[in-house]
Structure 1
Amino acid sequence: MAGGSLVPAGVAKERAEEYQGRVTPYVIIACLVAAIGGSIFGYDLGISGGVASMDDFLHRFFYTVYKNEKHAHENNYCKYNNEGLAAFTSSLYLAGLVASLLASPVTRKCGRKRSIIYGGISFLIGAALNAGAINLAMLLLGRIMLGVGIGFGNQAVPLYLSEMAPAHLRGGLNMMFQLATTLGIFSANMINYGTNKIHPWGWRLSLGLAAAPACLMTVGGLLLPETPNSLIERGLEEEGRKVLEKIRGTPNVSAEFEDMVEASKLANSIKHPFRDILKKRNRPQLVMAIFMPMFQILTGINSILFYAPVLFRSMGFKGNAPLYSSALTGAVLASSTLVSMATVDRWGRRFLLIGGGIQMITCQTIVAIILGLKFGNNKELSKGFSVLVVVVMCLFVVAFGWSWGPLGWTVPSEIFPLETRSAGQSITVAVNLLFTFIIAQSFLGLLCAFKFGIFLFFAGWITVMTIFVYIFLPETKGVPIEEMILLWQKHWFWKKIVSENPEVEKNDE
């Protein structure tokens, strides 16, 4: 087995100090192009909630919701509670969940680049179906194709960024994915603001313009180089070394190349990565692949982002105010991601996750108190309290934007050894989309049942995840991706679980 018998997987020793190279324009451009894949996810998050609050769209596809919206004395928290409307939003995420698992063998055997291209094409088809939607069945089919695109894109892009980036800047470059996501959200919010004034087909334009990021993702994917890790894993060592030299700007890449070669030898000996990921030596990474994306969704951020117009309208905001408010939160999210990109490789992952968690708990609690005291059936928030709610929600979004938003993707994408990396990322995406589906499908019902307590519900989860990070997540800042496996042996808790001798573990199974 490559790497000897004294390490859990892949590499024989720590060579990080021997790594050479610099940040080249080539790697920056490659990461920028690849990160466009995040924009399709963001665009859908932003566009769905806005379209779901447009009267023309509701009148055509969800007439019951349209009528309830017009009832002046309807329960403010329950007027949008409709399973069909929830299915419009959440069907995409269920399709994405399945697609992300199918994307794992494609990403491993055919490369990260191929999955990015497939994702872009599928999302483009979904955009076309949604724009020409003449009935609910066609609309849902389009949503499913969008979901397939997101499943492939979210599976491949974070891996691509983590493998291309040098270790000391991996966090910041990986967060380009989240930055593209937030810019997609903001763009969608601004488009919704404009198309809401176009009657009766503005909603078609909103849905159809999803073709723009899909085209960028597809064309960008065709132009991208493959990652050296993927090339070496597929036996193209000479080509992989050439790409590595080009992205590092030096021919002196022997140490990093040797790590990749040793990791690839073990990767190629693993025929069933989903089975291998269940082994004891991979337990810490598996736990993170499940809990990090789950916790990211249980912050409640997706509910605020794709139901923002519905949420603000439920609170009594009139006219275009819901779209104004959601556009503001989208802009705040995009700008706060820049803060995380600038600090993550200096302050570390743990600091941002814990600090962001504390800020989000505070904001959710404040919103719950305001709504509990000042808002209810047949009541609307005063102008002053409405402004305060928007301000506090923006502070919540800021906290998410520099913590769990980008790091919920960054941490899982950088911790797996090569042999289980594609499978691990598929699990991350699948869990993310599963909980996105659950929250999307249940949020309107939870809002109706819990009322202002929905914000305390999410605050409770954020408390749990903040404690989880403090106890179980080691700092991954600056650790080379192929040597990440060695980190778990040094952690006070995981070193009790991770076997230091894979041969012994193999014989014991």
Structure 2
Amino acid sequence: MFGGGVTFLVGSALNGAAESVLALILGRVLLGVGIGFANQSVPVYLSEMAPAKLRGQLNIGFQLMITVGIFGANLINYGTSKIEGGWGWRVSLALAAVPALIITVGSLVLPDTPNSLVERGHGEEAKEMLRRIRGTDDVHAEYEDLVAASEEARSVDRPWATITERRYRPQLAIAVLIPFFQQLTGINVIMFYAPVLFKTIGFGDEASLMSAVITGLVNLFATFVSIACVDRFGRRFLFLQGGAQMLACQLVVGSLIAVMFGTAGGTGEEGIPRGYATAVVAFICAYVAAFAWSWGPLGWLVPSEIFPLEIRSAGQSITVSVNMFFTFVIAQVFLSMLCHMKFGLFYFFAGWVAAMTAFVALFLPETKNVPIEEMVHVWRSHWFWGKYMADAKNDDGA
């Protein structure tokens, strides 16, 4: 995390002081590397430190801070857009140094996880850390699970090759498909391009920025719903409920825009009737809320808790890489898709939401309250993956 924080600091400094497009691009690349470090390490760190019954709530704290950052960025963009002289964008970009500094300093004071301590041969320190974070001296059983997992991890010399073995393909499939689907919910279309989107469908410049601030606020508060529900109702419930709500909202928003503008689209100059404006914002907010308590936080939580220790880092790296790759793809093609598809863009993403919700219903096992080192039993008891893993055991001669 320290390396990611430092990289993030350098990137924010370059962006704020940029005098050329090349400097802006280089700064953005460094910011992306810093984000990659954080996305790789933080969810795994939280999952390893948290007790099973609170793992979901504590891990979603990661997503909560992301929503705080998104909301803060929307407010900053709204405020700096009013700065006269055309230099407000420098303030906006340079303020990325604030979270970067928090990450850098925080990484220096955070303790190691018990898993990491055991893996590096510090058994007594791992026991003491378990006692501290569990609040009890009765940690023998969990410690023995960690030792067993560490011994198995030491037998793996090439985790990137091991992760492709048949016995790990259920986890690998989830680690690839969850972030893939997460980006195809269409959330980045809303959160990254909300001002462009709202202006295109008929809002003015300032109104579109304010609408972006509103969606950021909804995103923030809806994440608290996920924190309250994830360890009570489970991951599958939130995935399915959120998927159904997002699907309905996208279909309604697409239909409202179709009725108002048809295939011509809006220019932002002719305005939009107050009733339509209210309905569009309301359903987009309902969509954002559904994402914020389902696919947003769970897209990071579930992959971070399903891999055994020996391939956990490799598995999380794959999750982050897939997420970032499709974030990039969506960012590159969104404006072209919006120009050509108009309201059909919402139907496009609605189709993907329907597909991913069906995938969760059929293939994602429930991981609520399962100790992270015992997650293999969840896969073995699943109707589909259980047979898959049994075949893998037979192939290995087990």
Q: Distance in 2 between matches of 1:270 and 1:380?
A: 62
Alpha-carbon displacement from aligned partner over 1:44-81 (angstroms, at most 9, x marks no partner): xxxxxxxxxxxxxxxxxxxxxxxxxxxxxxxxxxxxxx
The corresponding residue for 1:140 is 25
Alpha-carbon displacement from aligned partner over 1:344-380 (angstroms, at most 9, x marks no partner): 1010000100010000000000111011110234554
The reply on whether 1:262 has 2:131 as its aligned counterpart is: no
The reply on whether 1:122 has 2:26 as its aligned counterpart is: no
**The one of 369, 372, 392 aligned to 1:481:** 372
The corresponding residue for 1:253 is 139
Alpha-carbon displacement from aligned partner over 1:133-153 (angstroms, at most 9, x marks no partner): 111100000000000001110
2:71 match: secondary structure: helix
Q: Distance in 2 between matches of 1:484 and 1:210?
A: 37
The corresponding residue for 1:92 is none
The corresponding residue for 1:338 is 224
The corresponding residue for 2:294 is 403
Q: Distance in 2 between matches of 1:240 and 1:500?
A: 35
Do the aligned residues in 2 keep the contact of 1:280 with 1:499 (CA within 8 Å)?
no
* Mapping for residues 495-506 of structure 1, pairs under 5 Å: 495-499=386-390, 502=393, 505-506=395-396
Alpha-carbon displacement from aligned partner over 1:280-332 (angstroms, at most 9, x marks no partner): 11111001000001111100001110111111122221131111100100010
The corresponding residue for 1:35 is none
Per-residue deviation, 1:507: 5.4
Q: Distance in 2 between matches of 1:215 and 1:501?
A: 46
The reply on whether 1:155 has 2:40 as its aligned counterpart is: yes
Per-residue deviation, 1:501: 7.5
Q: 1:320–1:501: structure 2 CA closer, same or farther, 3 Å change rule? A: closer
The corresponding residue for 1:362 is 248
**Match of 1:122, as an amino acid?**
T
1:491 match: secondary structure: coil
The reply on whether 1:458 has 2:375 as its aligned counterpart is: no
The corresponding residue for 1:415 is 306
* Mapping for residues 90-101 of structure 1, pairs under 5 Å: none
2:205 match: secondary structure: coil
Per-residue deviation, 1:383: 2.3
Across the aligned residues of Structure 1 and Structure 2, the Cα RMSD in angstroms comes to 1.3
Q: Distance in 1 between matches of 2:392 and 2:317?
A: 27
**Match of 2:43, as an amino acid?**
P
Alpha-carbon displacement from aligned partner over 1:177-229 (angstroms, at most 9, x marks no partner): 00000000000111111111112100000000000000011101111001111
Q: Distance in 1 between matches of 2:205 and 2:331?
A: 24
**The one of 215, 231, 237 aligned to 1:351:** 237
The corresponding residue for 1:234 is 120
The corresponding residue for 1:169 is 54
**Match of 2:242, as an amino acid?**
G
Q: Distance in 1 between matches of 2:395 and 2:141?
A: 28
| Greater relative contact order, per chain length (Cα 8 Å cut-off, separation 6+) | 1
Do the aligned residues in 1 keep the contact of 2:204 with 2:271 (CA within 8 Å)?
no
Comparing 493-502 with 408-417, greater Cα deviation is found at 493-502
The corresponding residue for 1:325 is 211
Q: Distance in 2 between matches of 1:353 and 1:152?
A: 26
**The one of 327, 344, 347 aligned to 1:436:** 327
Q: Distance in 1 between matches of 2:226 and 2:326?
A: 24
The corresponding residue for 1:182 is 67
The corresponding residue for 1:300 is 186
1:497 match: secondary structure: helix
Per-residue deviation, 1:500: 7.5
Do the aligned residues in 2 keep the contact of 1:489 with 1:500 (CA within 8 Å)?
no
Alpha-carbon displacement from aligned partner over 1:122-173 (angstroms, at most 9, x marks no partner): 1111100000011110000000000000111000000000000000010010
* Mapping for residues 195-234 of structure 1, pairs under 5 Å: 195-199=80-84, 200-234=86-120
Do the aligned residues in 1 keep the contact of 2:308 with 2:373 (CA within 8 Å)?
yes
Q: Structure 2 length as normaliser, TM-score? A: 0.96
Do the aligned residues in 1 keep the contact of 2:9 with 2:100 (CA within 8 Å)?
yes
Q: Distance in 1 between matches of 2:365 and 2:304?
A: 15
Q: Distance in 1 between matches of 2:135 and 2:115?
A: 17
**Match of 2:152, as an amino acid?**
L
1:271 match: secondary structure: coil
The corresponding residue for 2:164 is 278
Unaligned stretches of 5+ residues in structure 2 = none
Q: Distance in 1 between matches of 2:306 and 2:247?
A: 27
**Match of 1:460, as an amino acid?**
G
Per-residue deviation, 1:490: 0.4
The reply on whether 1:426 has 2:313 as its aligned counterpart is: no
Q: Distance in 1 between matches of 2:187 and 2:18?
A: 28
1:320 match: secondary structure: helix
Q: Distance in 2 between matches of 1:268 and 1:303?
A: 43
Q: Distance in 2 between matches of 1:316 and 1:488?
A: 48
